[in-house]
Structure 1
């Protein structure tokens, strides 16, 4: 590989690391500020934990940024991936369908790798870092040991080689991933009770569902949807954050 290409790849990886890190700080900071306004004192006494969450999350940003940067360079310079920019390259119905496909595939990967990380030895080595957030806060969404961060960092970069997606639809996927990752860890329920306790809510993961995972560990493993938990008998319902 030419030195110029290698330099460009490294620059792309660094840029994506910065983007992921700044996105984390901005989004988690926003929801932490909302928490302070809506639930004053909710994170009282958690300053040390929050500092650790931020430290692990910024390390995770580098792990997420590396494959994302390589893929972004390959897409721009070599035409790698199945990301497309012409909205008419595929039928318009594929725009929302591709978003749903990515979320379902990501959710499947997350559910099974998450269950694997609750095997005792793997938990002690890697996943215990995330569960050290007790209770979780808005800063905990990316608070991962590098092993766990790596399992999450490869998903979207792998999918863009397999499943066609418009660049704007990919932006929607990344936005949903960011918002749900943070709101599910805030320690209180952002979404209306009417939604959380509805038929639709029975299939969606919000803070009420994920909080139960942080309380009980051996249940509620999903990321976006509850269907794998329902199918595998690991759904233990809602907590009351």
Structure 2
């Protein structure tokens, strides 16, 4: 049993690492094509980001691997693979529930990480990326990585979700994590500056957090920032980034 759990944890860590490398490499390539020279002079920083991120992948993979083993062997979780277990309308609802719960957890733990002592100990690793690049999405100190690693494994014990919908949640998490750090806005201005952008977080919004630190803490949505008075609107990328 122990060997099977270890193997599952290692497999999930590898999956998380490969997912990170593929997503970040893809967006880094897009940056080179769309914004040539944007990452010039940041080679040492990007190597640090990759190193921290691969360590984070291991930390994310361990609880995910344990939960995956428990689901497959003992049915511990509320993940289901028969699409008819719950009504079809519940599938998109479950995705929204997971994103909302994850966003809530992220907002409050992120604000917590900005307390001076915790910032010095852990969160400063992430903010050492100046400016952040497409490789920075998982560039965390292990303590911070641990706070992010437990939320999705915890949710699968609480909220039913189809395995395919869970895959979609993880894909959205990866894409938004990378695209919000890549240093330029990939979405059209009408979307970012319009009603949709008023509630969804993109690189333009998150960039202001990296510039000013004490604002814009959310991950997917601006709900908690707006409710708690920490929303400082949209950042302004320098010429050549927007």
Q: Same fold judged by TM-score > 0.5?
A: yes
For 1:126-137, what aligned pairs fall within 5 Å after superposition?
A: 126-137=122-133
CA distance in 1, matches of 2:21, 2:89: 34
Instruction: Report the CA distance between 1:39 and its aligned residue.
Output: 0.3
Instruction: Report the CA distance between 1:187 and its aligned residue.
Output: 0.6
Q: Please, which of 101, 104, 107 is the counterpart of residue 108 of structure 1? A: 104
CA distance in 1, matches of 2:167, 2:236: 31
CA distance in 2, matches of 1:60, 1:118: 19
Q: Which residue of 1 aligns with 2:43?
A: 47
For 1:226-237, what aligned pairs fall within 5 Å after superposition?
A: 226-237=222-233
TM-score where L is the length of structure 2: 0.97
Instruction: Report the CA distance between 1:92 and its aligned residue.
Output: 0.8
- Aligned pair 1:62/2:58, yes or no? yes
Q: Please, which of 84, 92, 104 is the counterpart of residue 80 of structure 2? A: 84
Report how many aligned residue pairs link the two structures: 237
Q: Please, which of 4, 20, 25 is the counterpart of residue 16 of structure 2? A: 20
For 1:74-223, what aligned pairs fall within 5 Å after superposition?
A: 74-223=70-219
TM-score where L is the length of structure 1: 0.98
Q: Secondary structure at the match of 1:202?
A: coil
Instruction: Report the CA distance between 1:218 and its aligned residue.
Output: 0.1
* CA offsets 1:142-183 (integer angstroms, 9 cap, x no match): 000000000000000000000000000000000000000000
CA distance in 1, matches of 2:134, 2:202: 13
Q: Secondary structure at the match of 2:123?
A: helix
Structure 2 unaligned segments of length 5 or more: list them: 238-242
Instruction: Report the CA distance between 1:207 and its aligned residue.
Output: 0.2
Q: Secondary structure at the match of 2:198?
A: helix
CA distance in 1, matches of 2:232, 2:132: 18
Q: Which residue of 1 aligns with 2:240?
A: none
CA distance in 2, matches of 1:187, 1:30: 14
Runs ≥4 in structure 1, deviation > 3 angstroms? none
Structure 1 unaligned segments of length 5 or more: list them: none
CA distance in 1, matches of 2:195, 2:25: 32
Provide the alpha-carbon RMSD of the alignment.
0.4
